[in-house]
Chains A and B, each alone.
Chain A
Amino acid sequence: MSLSHEIPHADEQFVRYLLGLLTEEEAERVDELSIADDDIAWRLRAAENDLVDAYVRGTLKDTDRARFERVYLVTPKRRDKVRFAKSLLASIEPAAARPAPAVSTSAPAPAKVLSWPQRLLAQPATGWALAAAATLFLVLSGTLLMQTSRLRNDVGTLETERASADQRVQVLQQQVDAQRAAATETGHELERLRTQLLEANQRGNAEPRGASLLAGGVALLLTPQTRSSGVMPSLAVRPGADGVSFALLLESNDFPRYQVALKDPATSAILWRSEKVAAGTLNHAPAVSVIVPARLLKAQHYALELSGVRAAGAADVVASYVVRVVQ
């Protein structure tokens, strides 16, 4: 089985790195990014975990497996990772990773049932044979009774589990309904905010927190790019403007600081990064305000990628916003 089935295409370069298949120059570049770039550091870790899991599951191609053992599996730390992966997979997938329980040993009777009459017919009907037959009959009857009882219990357990699963499905359905309702509510709230912001801009006034930012240049309120995105917001940069203010609405404020990257969606190149800033509120909704230098914006589409920065300094991409700049 190819490793590419287990690991997203974009991260295959990390697998090549871990298996020592990159040139020294390429490997050094990954080394550098694995220390200096939060995103790469985590993606590399994720790819490494997937590679180790694939090895433990035995789904690596022979050549990859051999290379893994020769190149990767050479330090105690990495061997520990493999041991941990074995435990983890055994724990979450008991049937796949642990030897199957010896079910057959608890049900030896059927083989005897088939052979017993044949053997009886082939032998003279002696007292010993009858006694043996009677004993065997009793043993078989006992075994059958026990099996029947166990099957009844199994059926009972299965019914309980099914009932429990049904109940869980109902609970999940309720949760999904609640989330849908909340999403609709959020949509209305965002619409209301947009309208208010528009009115505020027209009046030349903005919300207290956004005021200083919104007054500096063109202002735009952006909502996260969702599965069902609507019309792409657009803006025209005023000639001579130094910066363009964006207020990025958050679904929830989960991080102490945020950082915004301006990306060109065509090339994925990062054109600009903001300072790390805390979120504020805009009409009770959490939002992050940044000013993007106007000179960077040309007539095209842009993506604003918002990362939450943890106290530890690590960053997670939490949302993406799109905007179209027009002349």
Chain B
Amino acid sequence: MQVLSLVGSDAAEVAARLVPRLDGRVATVDRLPETDSGAKMPGTAASFGLAPNGSWVGAGADRSLSDLLDALAAEYDFALLTGFSGVRLPTAVVGEVDVDGDSADSASTGGVPEDALLVAESADAVDLDDLARRLDDAEPHVTLDSLVRAIKGSPRADRAGAIATFTGRVRAKDGDDDPRTVRLEFEKYEGVAEERAEAIRRDLRERDGVEEVLLHHRTGVVEDGEDIVFVVVLAGHRTEAFRAVEDGINRLKDEVPIFKKETTVDGEFWVHDRP
């Protein structure tokens, strides 16, 4: 799923104009003021309503933006966010930005990240086709669920009785005395990393009994406890599924030019520099 955070006075207008240019299922997420959960029955976490034609409504409590995006990623191709400032997501800034506004969730940037996909004075000044292209090229929001769901939709799924997966995540501690890892930052050799990963995918997919393979490695900052890398294999039977998953993650770690900088409570270092 591609995620775009729109901020500024024309955010909602640009979101509405962008939707027809996006190829896929689009969800929008609006920033709400502090509110009651909206769950209808006291003591419940969420309420849903479902109509015979598939229309539905939902409301609930206790959900972070990242939890919500994780949930949306399996079902939608795009999520357009309006009114969330200071989040670390692909961002477009359109119109005036209220710098004195809601900065409670603003990490440090004050709502206008330096690497914004787009900064424009007004909705009319936005080249929407260009914005849609930039959004397609931005880092996608990928979860294990979104990959499992995608692989189940493979045209070769009829032949497959097994899905095996590997998830690599940020390990906070190696031992009791180990200084806690706060975050990792991954740098990728753009272009070559994708080629190498594709070669691994192709090799595994050609194996007897392996129907489909998906690999995904995040780049940029990944916090303690978050997922980093996924290998998902759709296969006829469990044995070839397990083997392909193990070989896939091993080859990815050996062959794909991605570099990891670790930040612990004691400082930061490039992981290949440490034994």
Are A and B genuine complex partners? Answer: no
Which residues of B does A touch, CB under 8 Å?
none
